[in-house]
Structure 1
Amino acid sequence: MNRPVMPQPDPAAFIKANLQISPVPSIPEILLHQAGPASGLWRLAGRRQADPAPYWAYPWAGGAVLARHLLDRPETAAGRRVLDLGAGSGLVAIAAAKAGAMAVAAIDIDANAIAAIGLNAAINSVNIAAVAADITEASPPETDLLVVGDLFYDPALAVRVMGFLRRCQAASIEVLIGDPERAYLPQGELRRIATHAVADFGAGGGAAQAGVFTLS
């Protein structure tokens, strides 16, 4: 006998009801809906093997270091078109908008992340165009600055992302990567331009010395 399939809740309604709004550790200027022990995130995340893990529900060091960098150096984004690849909660995209970006797009493969980005943009009073897509095999986007936070945690993903970033570099798009030196970060192909101590969910919420890198 087949068990009945339980309908998944509406992502935006679930996030508003269960993920508390709080300042991002190390980045008090930005508020996000963040998951906690009682959030029941499994009800939204899905049970199929193909469903993306809910990385968007937590602040990771790679995104935090980029957000901190953009807020501290607003001239990096001011007046420019910015695209946040693998945007998760929208933390980096929000920082770019607060830094004065002309237009900000946030791309993630997880539709739940896109719902979270919309809510998080609203509570921070910024405008972000959020799209659920995988653009790593596509042509370089129409943007001036591409920001990538914490996408080098998986070997196959790291190779695919790096190939895309090289194509963007060849198209004269500036690329900034934020990462706490995860296992598959290709450090030999990068140049560190800044380091910030930020909280990292991947380290149990403890501090991490994360870097901001450009392509060498």
Structure 2
Amino acid sequence: MFFSLAKRQRTGSVTMIQQAVARERLHIDVCGRTWAIERLGDLEALWANLGHGEFGQDERIPYWSELWPASMLLCGWLEENRQAISGKVCLDLGCGLGLTAIVASSFGARVLGMDYEPEALRYARENAVINDVGQPLWTAMDWRAPALKPGSIDFMWGGDIIYERRFFEPLRELFAYALAPQGRIWLGEPQRSVSLPAWQWLADNGWNVRKIVTRPVPTEGYTVTVNLWELSKADCL
């Protein structure tokens, strides 16, 4: 086993709102097939009914209920690297609705789908069933306290996870701790000013950083320009 399980249970206003909101099914055309992804149908109602308690230090804003353009670009990159990830231990950081974890699992990767919100993992698990894909191992985990074995992850990726500066250091620590010596990290990032300093900062802190591609990604009626980055440990080339 490449990690030890650490789960959290919680109840609260967001969960109760979710139970009252109908679902919708999105159809996503990537990697040569159409993927069906279910989520909450009325996202505006969910966001509008958030209580003040959801906006603390550990904010409980349901970002996981969105399908982010960065994940779409990551799916294409996973397909290009399907042979590399097949049979390898992979970590999907902030897996949300589960799209990239499910796609990687369909390519034979041994995927750990990790999210801070247990409710996200319930949707992700059901989405794997809908798409008839072998279940990734879903776990609720805080990346500030990862229940992982050191150097156990061959590949890890995340779609739009560097959207606040306070995430830089805990993510760098997670990368250094969990990534195998010859491992690779792939991060999809919409072009935002807040994440712009992250790449040079990571390079200054012991990482090889390269931009793989910049591409416009159409999704849900609009287009977002997304960068795809690759990280590797500087002392392992």
Give the TM-score normalised by structure 1: 0.78
Aligned pair count reads 205
| CA RMSD of superposed structures (Å) | 3.1
Kept in 1: contact 2:22–2:42 (CA 8 A): no
Aligned to 2:23: 19
Aligned to 1:167: 177
Identity across matched positions, percent: 24
Kept in 2: contact 1:65–1:212 (CA 8 A): yes
Kept in 2: contact 1:89–1:113 (CA 8 A): yes
Equivalent position to 1:130, from 126, 138, 149: 138
Q: Does 1:105 align with 2:121?
A: no
In the alignment, the residues of structure 1 paired with residue 60 and residue 118 of structure 2 have an alpha-carbon distance, to the nearest angstrom, of 9
SS at 1:131's partner residue? strand
- The higher relative CO (CA closer than 8 Å, separation ≥ 6) is in 1
Instruction: Give 1 or 2: higher strand fraction.
Output: 2
Aligned pairs (5 A) from 1:34-183: 34-37=39-42, 40-42=45-47, 48-49=53-54, 50=56, 51-101=59-109, 103-126=110-133, 127-138=135-146, 140=150, 142-169=152-179, 171-182=181-192, 183=194
Aligned to 2:235: none
Runs of 4+ in 1 over 6 A off after TM superposition: 43-46
C-alpha displacement of 1:48: 2.2
Gaps of 5+ in 1: none
Cα separation, partners in 2 of 1:25 and 1:198, compared to 1, 3 Å: farther
In the alignment, the residues of structure 2 paired with residue 45 and residue 24 of structure 1 have an alpha-carbon distance, to the nearest angstrom, of 28
For each residue in 1:27-86, what CA deviation from the matched residue of structure 2 results, as whole angstroms up to 9, or x when unmatched? 763221134447743599666234521111111122221112112442242221211011
Kept in 2: contact 1:9–1:43 (CA 8 A): no
Cα separation, partners in 2 of 1:107 and 1:8, compared to 1, 3 Å: closer
Gaps of 5+ in 2: 1-11, 204-208, 233-237
